[in-house]
Amino acid sequence: MSFGDDLQRFTAKVQTRSKTVFANTVSAAHGSITDGSAVTGSQGQPVGQYGPGYHEGDVGGELKASWQTRFLAPWVAEIVTNSPYAKQNEDGIARPGGGQYTQRSSVGGRFSVRLTIAGLPKLLAAEVRKVTS
């Protein structure tokens, strides 16, 4: 058992933990956008509450379910959506008519992406604590 062996084990441990922290932070960011997070203050995505007189027969949740995480490279990930409602829900500007985009749902809220970006250092710190404590 040499110092070199110790160093190799330590390096492997750091690499494994770093990958775990990265993957878990990306997952936490995804959750912050879709479901909300006490760490970032995001409320998550709204879910359509439909019934008589308002999109009767439709099922809500399309926007929330549209978010996907893709790992593009070992240290690169993106969280994306192709929902046409995502931008106006995020910034509150109705498209294409303009004016305020009114949120009818009692769950979720605006600015989930922006709050998640602002809170990313806190999400990262929380994940680091989990693997080092």
Residue 34 forms beta bridges with which residues? none
User: Three-state SS for 116?
Assistant: helix
Binding of another protein by 121 (CB under 8 A): yes
CA–CA distance, 72 with 121 (Å, rounded to integer): 21
Q: Does 25 bind another protein (CB under 8 A)?
A: no
How far apart are CB 43 and another protein at their closest, in Å? 9
Could you say whether residue 117 binds another protein (CB under 8 A)?
A: yes
Are 120 and 14 a contacting pair, CB within 8 Å?
no
- How far apart CA 125 and CA 41 sit, in angstroms, is 15
Among 75, 96, 106, 132, which residue interacts with another protein (rule: CB under 8 A)? Answer: 96
Token digits of residue 98: 């303009």
With CB under 8 A as the rule, give the number of residues binding another protein: 24
In the list 17, 114, 124, 128, the residue contacting another protein (rule: CB under 8 A) is 114
Which residues contact another protein (rule: CB under 8 A)? 39-42, 91-100, 102, 110-111, 114-115, 117-119, 121-122
